[in-house]
């Protein structure tokens, strides 16, 4: 049996006719740039996120960058974030001339440890960026309370959390702004790159809309120096085909995660990353911790089971951030997890047979 990590071909085949119709419609009208498809998708996506506005942009990385800029982050500022995230969370901080400041994660959920954020804040801290890692919202209430006390902006990195909720509030609706990615493998993925900033602040939404399109307020009137960071109209059309299926796809992921939880609970030596009981996790990734991870991964590979590591090197040890001056031992929880985490196949088409086969193979590898 082969168990792919994600199954984008199957999704493409199922939706092909609708993608084709969307493609034809856009091409017939030659409506490629900020057309009605972008506006239509933005309002539907804002509604899903419980926000008044969503602004479509070119990627999750650019969504972060534009959200940071719109929230006033700039040179000399510090931005606090978990050390165990995809590099883009930090990269976008560097792009706006600010400095990322890292915080360790919680062993249970792999999300930022709220109790360590205060120590990371200085008088230069302009924003805190909780990342809803693997599709599970971070513990937002203590973070929002701390940020409100100190007058710091909270910007959610919701790039892995389309449709997730925390205490009933949608991911993307809790900070002053949030960034989403529509990279093809995401729970809501385009057929290429894309992203969005969601917010309930019209000032932030307008600023992001201005910045994404060369700072243009009227044709050839450039109010500020901006970027070419628009969501492509064609990608918005494809995303609108997929958006109505997101809830069902997330429910399928949840069922697969429950099957994994049940099967893996019976195997000694496999420790799934935990899930809080006050969140709706959307299982972008299903991650376990194991000893001797690389040997286990090879055994899965030999059995035709694809796996991944998200992420093998915490950001403080990645060469790009060596100059920040952190070292081994600074973030012990994240460092330990980085050597033990393994992402198992997770997608809406995962069958009972496949989850059972993954569990059996893991049991044999760990015996």
Ligand X SMILES: Cc1ncc(COP(=O)(O)O)c(C=O)c1O
User: Which residues of the shown chain bind ligand X in the complex (CB under 6 A)?
Assistant: 59-61, 85-86, 88-89, 131, 157, 159-160, 181, 183, 193, 195
| Residue 285 main-chain phi, psi, to 5 deg | -130, 150
Q: Which CB sits closer to ligand X, 88 or 234?
A: 88
Place of tokens 């000893």: 291
Helix (H, G, I), strand (E, B) or coil at 313: coil
Smallest separation (angstroms) from ligand X to the CB of 181: 3
Q: Which CB sits closer to ligand X, 165 or 354?
A: 165
CA–CA distance, 293 with 279 (Å, rounded to integer): 28
Q: Which CB sits closer to ligand X, 183 or 357?
A: 183
Residue of minimal Cβ distance to ligand X = 60
Smallest separation (angstroms) from ligand X to the CB of 185: 8
- Paired tokens of 339: 């050597």
Smallest separation (angstroms) from ligand X to the CB of 135: 10
The answer to whether the beta carbons of residues 105 and 341 sit under 8 Å apart is no
Q: Is beta strand 169-170 parallel, antiparallel or unpaired with respect to 165-166? A: antiparallel
- Paired tokens of 15: 């939706």
DSSP 230: B
Q: Which CB sits closer to ligand X, 85 or 199?
A: 85
- The CB density around residue 309, as the number of other CB atoms within 10 Å, is 16
* H/E segment holding residue 199: strand 195-199
Smallest separation (angstroms) from ligand X to the CB of 8: 15
Q: Which CB sits closer to ligand X, 181 or 198?
A: 181
Smallest separation (angstroms) from ligand X to the CB of 294: 23
């Amino acid at each position: 049996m082969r168990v792919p990590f994600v199954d984008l071909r199957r999704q493409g085949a199922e939706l092909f006719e609708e993608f084709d119709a969307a493609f034809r419609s856009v091409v017939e009208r030659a409506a490629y740039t900020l057309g009605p498809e972008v506006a239509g998708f933005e309002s539907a996506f804002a509604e899903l996120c419980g926000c008044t506005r969503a602004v479509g942009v070119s990627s999750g990385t650019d969504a972060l960058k534009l959200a940071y800029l719109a929230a006033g982050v700039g040179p000399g500022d510090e931005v606090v974030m978990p050390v165990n995230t995809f590099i883009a969370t930090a990269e976008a901080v560097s792009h706006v001339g600010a400095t990322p400041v890292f915080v360790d994660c919680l062993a249970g959920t792999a999300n930022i440890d709220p109790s360590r954020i205060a120590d990371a804040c200085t008088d230069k801290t302009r924003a805190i960026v909780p990342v809803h890692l693997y599709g599970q919202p971070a513990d937002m209430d203590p973070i929002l309370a701390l940020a409100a006390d100190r007058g710091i902006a909270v910007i959610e990195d919701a790039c892995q959390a389309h449709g997730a909720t925390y205490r009933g509030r949608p991911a993307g609706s809790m900070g002053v702004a949030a960034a989403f990615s529509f990279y093809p493998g995401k729970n809501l993925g385009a057929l290429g790159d894309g992203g969005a900033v969601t917010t309930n602040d019209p000032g932030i939404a307008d600023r992001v809309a201005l910045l994404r399109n060369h700072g243009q307020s009227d044709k050839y009137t450039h109010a500020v120096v901006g970027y070419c960071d628009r969501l492509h109209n064609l990608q918005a059309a494809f995303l609108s085909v997929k958006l109505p299926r997101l809830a069902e796809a997330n429910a399928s992921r949840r069922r697969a995660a429950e099957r994994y939880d049940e099967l893996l609970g019976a195997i000694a030596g496999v420790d799934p990353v935990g899930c809080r009981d006050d969140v709706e996790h959307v299982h972008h990734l299903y991650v376990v911790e194991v000893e001797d991870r690389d040997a286990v991964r090879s055994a899965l590979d030999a059995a035709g089971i694809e796996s991944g590591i998200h992420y093998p090197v915490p950001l403080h040890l990645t060469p790009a951030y060596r100059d920040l001056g952190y070292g081994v031992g600074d973030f012990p929880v994240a460092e330990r997890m980085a050597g033990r985490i393994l992402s198992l196949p997770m997608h809406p088409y995962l069958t009972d047979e496949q989850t059972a086969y993954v569990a059996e193979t893991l049991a044999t590898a760990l015996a």
